[in-house]
Chain A
Amino acid sequence: DAKTTQPPSMDCAEGRAANLPCNHSTISGNEYVYWYRQIHSQGPQYIIHGLKNNETNEMASLIITEDRKSSTLILPHATLRDTAVYYCIPRPVYTGTASKLTFGTGTRLQVTL
């Protein structure tokens, strides 16, 4: 499995874009990058995933560098409710066996007024 490096914490002002980086320099060609977040006292929540191209959904955008060694999750207009721990998780495209999500230490995002 690819190793990831994320900053332990970040701050963002409400209404501004939150850009959360993840380094996954050992990622292999058949591994997606998944992002989850965990708001305090709740279960983790799936946000988005991508393989090569940039992706966008109603929650966030995911920018993956051309060499795929790093990615950035973008919350375009952060609100106080986005305060959470954000996890970047590389996973194989398909292994034929049950999926195992391995959570790293993540980035604790604090959105402030």
Chain B
Amino acid sequence: DTEVTQTPKHLVMGMTNKKSLKCEQHMGHRAMYWYKQKAKKPPELMFVYSYEKLSINESVPSRFSPECPNSSLLNLHLHALQPEDSALYLCASSQEAVMYEQYFGPGTRLTVT
């Protein structure tokens, strides 16, 4: 199984809502990533988890809160988002955090109203 799954596929939320994005992989990978992709732009790294510990935070605003409850699961908790946070949120995993062969999920398309 070389698949990274993400739920939901689409999410519409108001600026006062709290929601979560979920990512799952069963490849035994020990590193997981969140990327943000705005329309017609390349993906940008947000967070890296290695062995369930936060390894990199690319100065992401605190309204985005990542969580890695176990090595297969990665969540992104969202609170008080702004309309400019509307984007495609991509999850990825790799065998180890030092490896650049990353497997990406299909993404969650988020719209903040």
Interface residues of A (CB under 8 A from B): 32, 34, 38, 41-46, 49, 85, 87, 89, 91, 94-106
Q: 6 A-B pairs, CB-CB below 8 angstroms? A: A43-B4, A43-B104, A91-B100, A97-B55, A98-B48, A102-B45
Interface residues of B (CB under 8 A from A): 4, 31, 42-45, 48, 50, 55-56, 90-92, 94, 97-107
Chain B hits for A97, CB < 8 A: 55, 97-98
Query: A32 contacts which of B31, B91, B100 (Cβ < 8 Å)?
Result: B100
A101 touching B50, Cβ below 8 Å: no
B58 to chain A, nearest CB (A): 8
Complex: A46 Cα to B106 Cα, angstroms = 14
CB-CB nearest 6 A-B residue pairs: A43-B104, A103-B42, A98-B97, A98-B55, A98-B48, A91-B100
Knowing that A43-B104, A44-B43 touch, tell me 17 more A-B residue pairs with CB under 8 angstroms: A32-B100, A43-B90, A43-B91, A43-B92, A43-B106, A44-B90, A46-B102, A46-B103, A87-B42, A89-B100, A91-B100, A98-B56, A98-B97, A99-B31, A99-B48, A99-B94, A99-B100
B54 to chain A, nearest CB (A): 10
Chain B hits for A96, CB < 8 A: 98
B100 touching A101, Cβ below 8 Å: yes
Complex: A94 Cα to B97 Cα, angstroms = 11
A101 touching B45, Cβ below 8 Å: yes
Chain B hits for A41, CB < 8 A: 106
